[in-house]
Amino acid sequence: MDELLRATGVCKHYVLGGAHIEVLKGVDLGIVRGEIVAVVGASGVGKSTLLHIMGGLDHPSSGTVAIDGVDIFALSDAERAKFRNRQIGFVFQFHHLLRDFTALENVMMPLMIAGLSPSEARLPAQQLLHAVGLAERLAHLPAELSGGEAQRVAVARALVTQPAVVLADEPSGNLDVARSEDLHALLWDLARSRSQTFVIVTHDRHLAGRADRVVEMEDGRLVA
């Protein structure tokens, strides 16, 4: 099998008020290309910390993360930021859209950061917004979108660079049940139709149950 992502011996600790706090305690995890993996566990066990480290948003205290054969923490900060923009998509619980930019402009942004001109970035961004069911909302600002619509824009933004992997942290955690179900169906449709690799941190056991594989975290370690 074609392994895309490999976290090896990932540890993370903090010193807080003189106390040594271990958040991750030697996590080993491999993700196969095209796989949908759900990471579950109680609050505070290190799920989001692991996701942020795998995405290069936070540094491990020790251990390595390789994506498509690239050791991301062997890169300089600038190199890692460039790699992250191109190869890693992120979807968070809150959409984090730029409020002064339209839905279309928000989705175009990663492509423009990567060096494409606005005219080059427009078409792929439009196509993705059509794919997530927002063909009529391209010119709307985030404040003019519902919560579910804003999260769909965030999903389109995560996918627009055709990243190697999309990391989603409680993507439906801020939505009601109906909109959560809609978002889950959308994520699975996009993952299957695009052979897109997803790692999804979630408390939602129903969402997790649809994944190719479920891994459970407990006290900073993978237990299943």
Is 149 among the domain residues? yes
Interstrand relation of 36-40 and 197-201 (parallel, antiparallel or unpaired)? parallel
Q: Which domain holds residue 148?
A: 35-59+76-218
pLDDT over 80 at 161, yes or no: yes
Task: Report the CATH number that the domain containing residue 208 is assigned in CATH.
Answer: 3.40.50.300
- Rounded-to-integer distance, Cα 171 and Cα 174, Å: 8
pLDDT at residue 95, as a whole number: 72
pLDDT in tens, 83-130: 998 899 998 877 788 889 999 999 999 999 888 999 999 999 999 899
Closest CA to 179 of 160, 152, 212: 152
Q: Provide mean pLDDT across the span 6-17.
A: 90
Assess if residue 65 is contained within a domain. Answer: no
Residue 205, in any domain of the structure: yes
pLDDT at position 216, please?
Answer: 92
pLDDT band at 70 (very low <50, low <70, confident <90, very high): very high
Give pLDDT, residue 17. 79
184 belongs to a structural domain: yes
- The pLDDT, as a whole number, for residue 175 is 66
pTM: 0.88
Q: Is residue 172 part of a domain?
A: yes
Share of the chain above pLDDT 90, in %: 53
In a domain, 224, yes or no: no
Q: Is 25 inside any structural domain?
A: no
Q: How far is CA 17 from CA 22, 43, 112, 220, 222, in A?
A: 14, 22, 42, 20, 27
Residue with tokens 């196969």: 32
User: How many domains does the chain fold into?
Assistant: 1
Residue 23 in any domain: the answer is: no
